[in-house]
A and B are shown apart, each in its own frame.
Chain A
Amino acid sequence: MEFKTIEKLVTKYLEGETSLEEEAVLKAYFTKEQELPAEWVPFRQFFTYCDEARKETFPQKSIKATPSFKPWMLVAASIALVLTLQLSGVFETQPSPFEAQQAEMAFQQFQLQMKTVSSHLNKGAEKVAYLDYWNNTTQKLLK
């Protein structure tokens, strides 16, 4: 590219009179040419920057509709379920201390009740033995 042509284009460019095509010519020249006059070096930096900046993309994930359910969610859900059940004690085999105390008390009460019942039952049995004696005497009378 002729130096004179570029010089003219630069003047036009600075006046805001260049077309996009002419600006592309300038860019090609400034980015390829190794030996640039010092006053044109800024153009090379500027055009290179613009090329880079044009490539910048929106950094977040695609907004395209994607399936909201993903396989890893299944794994996460099952882990969460197991943890919840574990914490809520569904899998617990050891009774808690409170439960053990309650059971102990219930057992002692039951034992006491059974002792009472059995002692009264024995009293009843003594009376039954007495009845037996009655039977003996009536049999004697009937003889």
Chain B
Amino acid sequence: MQLTADNSFFNQIEEIRNKIFRITKRILVSQEEAEDATQEVIVKLWQMEESKRNGVKSLEAYSVTMAKNYSLDRLKSKQAQNLSLDERFNGSYSDTLNQKIEQRDALDWVGKLIDQLPEKERTIIQLREIEQYDFDEIASILNLPEGTVRVYLSRIRKKLRQQFLDIQNHGI
């Protein structure tokens, strides 16, 4: 029946929705935009034909991929109109961040360090370190070879560690 099928979709999506929200927030950085994007992605999923939806191997992986693509598209159209995110961060990054580190919770600036990475890098961090996907899942979500994902991840982990150490050595 239509009703039970829909209910099962909503039950499934309950779990996935939070993942969608976290990935869109990581890519779009803004809370508000991530909320909008999450709604949009869920509507898109819901509007899919049932047979197609049921044919998807993993609704979760499919949804996360969709969320990633949607957020990247949104980011691109935004960057075309406005200042790029990177510009926004580079301008006053070191000054304000160092000041804020003194007052803020350490966890807060870890998030900020991740958010100032290029979008591809912060997506990979999100998928691996936070959502804890296997390399083959990340490879399929990002449509990249597994080896490339590992290379990226290695580079980002080293870079982040270095930035952490720099901040630490500047004295908090």
Contacts and interface: CB of A to CB of B under 8 A. Distances in A.
B154 A15 contact: yes
A49 B109 CA distance: 9
Contacts of B14: 62-64
B168 A41 contact: yes
Contacts of A49: 107, 110-111, 114
A45 B172 CA distance: 14
Interface in B133-168: 134, 149-154, 157-158, 160-161, 164-165, 168
Nearest to B161: A42
A45 B164 CA distance: 9
A45 B165 CA distance: 11
Contacts, number: 82
B107 A14 contact: no
Contacts of A65: 6-7, 10
A57 interface: yes
A137 interface: no
B160 A53 contact: no
A82 B11 CA distance: 41
Contacts of A17: 150, 154
A39 interface: yes
Interface in A38-59: 38-39, 41-43, 45-46, 48-50, 52-54, 56-59
A16 B157 contact: yes
A20 interface: yes
Contacts of B25: 56
- The DSSP consensus for interface residues of chain A is helix
A46 B164 contact: yes
B49 interface: no
Contacts of B158: 14
B130 A53 contact: yes
Q: How large is the interface on A (under 10, 10 to 19, 20 to 34, 35 or more residues)?
A: 20 to 34
Contact of B21 (A23, A38, A42, A56): A56
Given A49-B107, A49-B110, A49-B111, A57 B154 contact: no
B17 interface: yes
B38 interface: yes
B35 interface: yes
B98 interface: no
B157 A13 contact: yes
A49 B108 CA distance: 8
Interface of B: 6-7, 10-11, 13-14, 17-18, 20-22, 25, 31, 35, 38, 42, 106-107, 110-111, 114, 129-132, 134, 149-154, 157-158, 160-161, 164-165, 168
7 A-B pairs with the lowest CB-CB distances in the bound complex, closest first: A42-B164, A16-B154, A49-B110, A16-B150, A16-B153, A58-B21, A57-B18
7 contacts: A23-B132, A41-B168, A45-B110, A48-B110, A49-B110, A58-B38, A62-B14
